[in-house]
Amino acid sequence: MQLTFDLQPGDDRLFTDESLEQIERIEQGLLELEHSLDAGVVNEVFRAAHTLKGSAATIGHRRMTELTHAMEDLFGAFRSGTLHDVKAFADVLLATIDVLRALVAEVQEGETLTDAPEALTGQLDRHRRGRGPLHGTAAGTEAGDQTGERHGCRGGCGRPGIGGRRAGTRRRNACGGHQQHRRRPVDPPAAE
């Protein structure tokens, strides 16, 4: 699907550069937080997500705004002490990083490159509220994928992971699919 954003000529490059810088800050913070919960790092990740959310909202990238808002809320819960263990959220957060990169690429390409933001936004929100599984389970699937099958993510689904990671760091599919695609299928809801 074709996308348009509220940008002047040349602003797309500025948006891309600044967004990738914020994403890099978030990713580096997440990797540090996997070792220990440090309030300074949590604040850095929170601020980077907040800045990214504001930039996305400014150009009218609704899906990116919603995803970064959910990430910001999750780190707000870490800041307030409501949540304490980032490791439990590592997979979904690292999947979010890959999707954020795809969403930034959408600005350059002018078309939808991934259908994963809505599912990840829901996952982050459920985790923040303590209602989502912290790791993939056999009990069900996420975000309406009632069959447990691949859902057509154009951002790298089905590959071992997408680029942009430094050697030695985790890699995830753009859709967060390592968890979702290992789940066994569940019966779809019965028709009434």
Using the CB atoms, write b or e for 118-132: b if 16+ within 10 Å: ebbbbbbbbbbeeee
Q: Which CATH number fits domain 11-135: 2.40.50.140, 1.10.10.10, 1.20.120.160, 3.40.190.10?
A: 1.20.120.160
Q: Residue 137 and residue 37: Cα distance in Å, rounded?
A: 25
Domain ranges of the chain: 11-135
- Residue 135: CB atoms within 10 A of its CB come to 10
pTM score of the predicted model? 0.69
> Residue 164 is encoded by which pair of tokens?
């942009």
Q: What is the pLDDT of residues 115-173, one digit of tens each?
A: 999 999 999 999 888 865 543 332 233 333 322 323 333 443 332 333 333 333 333 33
Q: What is the pLDDT of residues 67-120, one digit of tens each?
A: 999 999 999 999 999 998 888 888 999 999 999 999 999 999 999 999 999 999
> Residue 169 is encoded by which pair of tokens?
């760091």
Distance between alpha carbon 146 and the CA centroid of its chain, in Å? 21
